[in-house]
Amino acid sequence: MERVRHLCACLILFFSGVLCCEAKNLAVVVNKNNATPNLAVADLSKIVKFENRKWPDGRDIVLVLLDPSSTEMQAVAKLFKIQPEVFKTLLGIHKASVVIVHSQQEMLRSVEATRGAIGLLDVYSISKEIRVVRVDGKLPLEQGYFFRAL
Amino acid sequence: MTQARAVVTAACSTVLFCAHLFASPFVSKSHARDTQPPQSGIEVTTKSATARADFEEGLSKCQTLHLQEGFQAWRKAAKEDPQFALVHILLANFSPDPGEQIAERGKALATRKFAGKEEQLVIDWLGNSSQGKWVPAIQAMNETLSEYKNHKFVLWLAGMWFTNQQEWIRAIPLYEQTIALDSGFADGWNSLAYCYARTRQFDKAFTAMQKYTELLPNEANPQDSFAEISRMAGRYDQALSHYHESLKIDPGFVESQLGIGDTYALMGEEAKARVEYSAAVQKAADKVQKARWSLQSAATYVRENNYSAADVAFESVARQAHESGLGNVEAEAYRLMSLYQPNHAKALDLLQKAATAVDEERHKLPQSLRDQEMAAVLRARVDRAVDAGNMELAAGTLKGLEKIAATSSDGAVHLSLGAASGAVLLAQGKVQEAISQLEDDDRNPVSMKRLAQAYEMAGEREKAKQVSENLVAFNEPVLEQALVVAPLRRNVNK
């Protein structure tokens, strides 16, 4: 007998975040000092495409991303309708505004340390040292959250 | 230690507050911080030595799956020290009684201030999680794991938390760390074995299970677990042998009796399955167990394609459940009946009866159970409507399901919604969106079948093949297995 199944037979917590694809679990995270509570998908798209490079307080936006060839980033590019090659070119052009990291821990540290940072972090890696931003009013693992479409 | 809260929070305000509440020995000891991981694997704050002992006993009982005794010990601890926040949050999370869950969560939040820092983090984590507040829950969990990485209990709890959410891959390293800290921690091996099995790493699962049985040679549960994992791997004879071994150790371990029934059912030996189910029902601890196990027995007739006998058996369970005030079980009986009906109109009638049973005032069901079963009923109606090509009914029913989900953070409700949405999207040809929804429902053969179809339509052949293989190897004793997997196996064998 499996303990968890037995213990939770009445409240089976098969919650909406039971996901196979890691990209579905991405949280949009910003530095703790950034007061932005919510981003519309259109605004997020502009940030990812470098069409918007400033926060409302005038601070430069720094995009913290996993390696663009990673599965997650390819899925993100697809979601924002950016061709992979175009995405790589954009990252090259704007390299002063981009930090490429190689792990979730590295991303967490980078967003913690950079005031204008915005990153896409695995929701199960979030800490209290960063802020999670709603996307179109939804948080990760909520029904209808934007990245669940991945 | 009698009057002292042995471990105190670093927050001075809490220390001072507690100091006012308890006798002077507490004050003198309150600053003595024990930096060693405690025996139970978590810092435990209580003013009562008796409550502490009860807590430890309850934990030990729960970790060896003597759950009722474990809960009783925790309830005693909570009674002995009503400000024992940790025990309240554990009862809130593990009690099978939804009313107790809510009441204990309230008590845990109210007494949080009396707890140490580690316990407060656990309360933040589990308290938020139980209310669907995932972001603060995960933040608190990660802080707990970061600060108390050598505390066995915390790692075990996190492993369980991920297991609850079917995140087996994330649970595995946590259980591995737990047993790295204490290789004699039997429950760690048991949980790890199940995670390996769920990810179809059966060699590792059997190795972990072997260790579990060696650690508790005189307990029935290791044999029961060994049997279940053998069944999941399709090793039915081995499963039966371990179930019998379990019953030899403890003839009262009725779950093994049920397991024998389930195994025979999957083997296609339905008459034998019914005999075993009947024996299990005789020994069931309560009316809910009796009713649910009777549903298992009724399903054996479906496996024999004897639908009229199945109707009689399910009707009988529905009637008994109705008389016992178990509206959700009554609804489940009608819902399951609807699944195998060749006649579409009759299936819809049964689903209407199921919905009526959930709504019936006299059943006084807790809201969470009402929502879960109603969502399952609506999901079944969407499936039916989609299969019959009645997209108008499917869309209308889906709206009702969305309405329930909008006011519920319950995972089971959202899983039903995702599966139903996936079915509708696939029928509408919105393949990628359908895949996104159906991937979540990876332990339901109906959704797995649709997912394989969606992958095929999307040209993702490898994924389609993998899901189809998982489906053919699916060995959970649920009705959907009988309806979807058994015919697939017959085709494969042909």
Please check whether residue A68 touches B, CB under 8 A. no
Q: How many CB atoms lie within 10 A of CB B282?
A: 11
Question: Using alpha carbons only, what angle is made at residue B248 by residues B291 and A5, rounded to the nearest 5 degrees?
Answer: 45
Q: Is the pLDDT of residue B212 over 70?
A: yes
For residue A46, what are its two tokens? Answer: 């502009």
**CA-based nearest residue in chain B for residue A127:** B139
**CA-based nearest residue in chain A for residue B259:** A1
Q: Is the pLDDT of residue B32 over 60?
A: no
Please check whether residue A81 touches B, CB under 8 A. no
B271-319 tens-digit pLDDT: 999 999 999 999 998 898 999 999 999 999 999 999 999 999 999 999 9
Q: How far apart are CA B233 and CA B218, in angstroms?
A: 25
The CATH-assigned architecture of domain B12-148 is Alpha Horseshoe (1.25)
A81-89, long-range: CB < 8 A, 24+ apart = A82/A48, A82/A49
Minimum distance, in Å, between the CA of residue A95 and any CA atom of chain B? 30
pLDDT of residue B466: 94
Q: Return the higher-pLDDT residue of B74 and A23.
A: B74
pLDDT of residue A149: 66
**CA-based nearest residue in chain B for residue A132:** B135
pLDDT band with cut points at 50, 70 and 90 for residue A8: very low
pLDDT of residue A4: 59
Give me the phi and psi of A54, to 5 degrees please: -130, 145
List of chain A residues whose C-beta atoms are within 8 Å of the C-beta of residue B412: 12-14
Q: How far apart are CA A28 and CA A32, in angstroms?
A: 12
Let me know if the fold of B12-148 is the same as that of B382-494: yes
| Percent of chain B whose predicted confidence (pLDDT) is above 90 | 74
Q: Using the beta-carbon criterion (under 8 Å), do B142 and A148 form an inter-chain contact?
A: no
B392-413 tens-digit pLDDT: 999 999 999 999 988 877 778 8
Q: Is the pLDDT of residue A34 over 70?
A: yes
Minimum distance, in Å, between the CA of residue A140 and any CA atom of chain B? 8
Judge residue B134's burial from the number of C-beta atoms within 10 Å of its C-beta, 0-12 exposed, 13-18 middle, 19 or more buried. Answer: buried
Q: How far apart are CA B321 and CA B59, in angstroms?
A: 33
A83-122 tens-digit pLDDT: 888 888 999 999 999 999 999 999 999 999 999 999 999 9
Of A1, A10, A19, the CB nearest to B224: A1
Q: Using the beta-carbon criterion (under 8 Å), do B411 and A143 form an inter-chain contact?
A: no
Strand pairing of A130-135 and A26-31? antiparallel
List of chain A residues whose C-beta atoms are within 8 Å of the C-beta of residue B433: 149
Q: Return the higher-pLDDT residue of B182 and B39.
A: B182
pLDDT band with cut points at 50, 70 and 90 for residue A147: confident
Q: Which residue has the tokens 């003839």?
A: B251
pLDDT band with cut points at 50, 70 and 90 for residue A3: low
Minimum distance, in Å, between the CA of residue A94 and any CA atom of chain B? 31
Judge residue B173's burial from the number of C-beta atoms within 10 Å of its C-beta, 0-12 exposed, 13-18 middle, 19 or more buried. Answer: middle
For residue B74, what are its two tokens? Answer: 């925790």
CATH fold of B382-494 reads 1.25.40
Q: How far apart are CA B273 and CA B260, in angstroms?
A: 7
Are residues B215 and B189 in contact, defined by beta-carbon separation less than 8 angstroms? yes
Q: How far apart are CA A137 and CA B287, in angstroms?
A: 44
Q: How far apart are CA A65 and CA A119, in angstroms?
A: 6
Q: How many CB atoms lie within 10 A of CB B471?
A: 18
CA B177 centroid distance within chain: 22
B149-180 tens-digit pLDDT: 999 999 999 999 999 877 899 999 999 999 99
Judge residue B28's burial from the number of C-beta atoms within 10 Å of its C-beta, 0-12 exposed, 13-18 middle, 19 or more buried. Answer: exposed
Of B94, B139, B194, the CB nearest to A126: B139
Are residues B255 and B236 in contact, defined by beta-carbon separation less than 8 angstroms? no
Enumerate the domain spans of chain B.
12-148, 382-494
* Cβ within 8 Å of residue B181, ≥6 positions away: B37, B41, B150, B152, B155
pLDDT band with cut points at 50, 70 and 90 for residue B365: confident
Q: Rounded to the nearest 10 degrees, what angle do helices B236-249 and B220-232 cross at?
A: 170
For residue B215, what are its two tokens? Answer: 């650690």
Q: Using the beta-carbon criterion (under 8 Å), do A1 and B67 form an inter-chain contact?
A: no
pLDDT of residue B13: 30
List of chain A residues whose C-beta atoms are within 8 Å of the C-beta of residue B129: 13
B87-146 tens-digit pLDDT: 999 999 988 777 788 899 999 999 999 999 999 999 999 999 988 889 999 999 999 999
Average pLDDT, chain A: 84
Enumerate the domain spans of chain A.
20-149
Does the structural domain A20-149 have CATH classification 3.40.190.10? yes
Q: How far apart are CA B176 and CA B263, in angstroms?
A: 29
How many contacts (CB atoms, under 8 Å) link A and B?
A: 122
Give pTM, 2 decimals: 0.84
pLDDT of residue A144: 78
Average pLDDT, chain B: 89
Site from A10, A104, A133 to mutate, B interface, most B CB atoms within 10 angstroms: A10
List strands edge to edge, sheet with A130-135. A38-39, A130-135, A26-31, A117-122, A62-66, A98-101
Mean pLDDT of B250-270: 96
Of A1, A128, A143, the CB nearest to B143: A128
Ranking B134-148, B183-197, B436-450 by mean pLDDT, the lowest is B436-450
Q: How many CB atoms lie within 10 A of CB B172?
A: 21
Of B98, B165, B224, the CB nearest to A18: B165
**CA-based nearest residue in chain A for residue B101:** A11
B220-236 tens-digit pLDDT: 999 999 999 999 999 99
Q: What beta strand segments (E) does B7-52 contain?
A: none
Mean pLDDT of B426-436: 93
- ipTM score here? 0.88
Site from B165, B229, B467 to mutate, A interface, most A CB atoms within 10 angstroms: B165
Q: How far apart are CA B419 and CA B400, in angstroms?
A: 14
Q: Which residue type, as a one-letter code, is found at position B351?
A: L
Question: Using alpha carbons only, what angle is made at residue B325 by residues B319 and B409, rounded to the nearest 5 degrees?
Answer: 115
Q: How far apart are CA A67 and CA A72, in angstroms?
A: 9
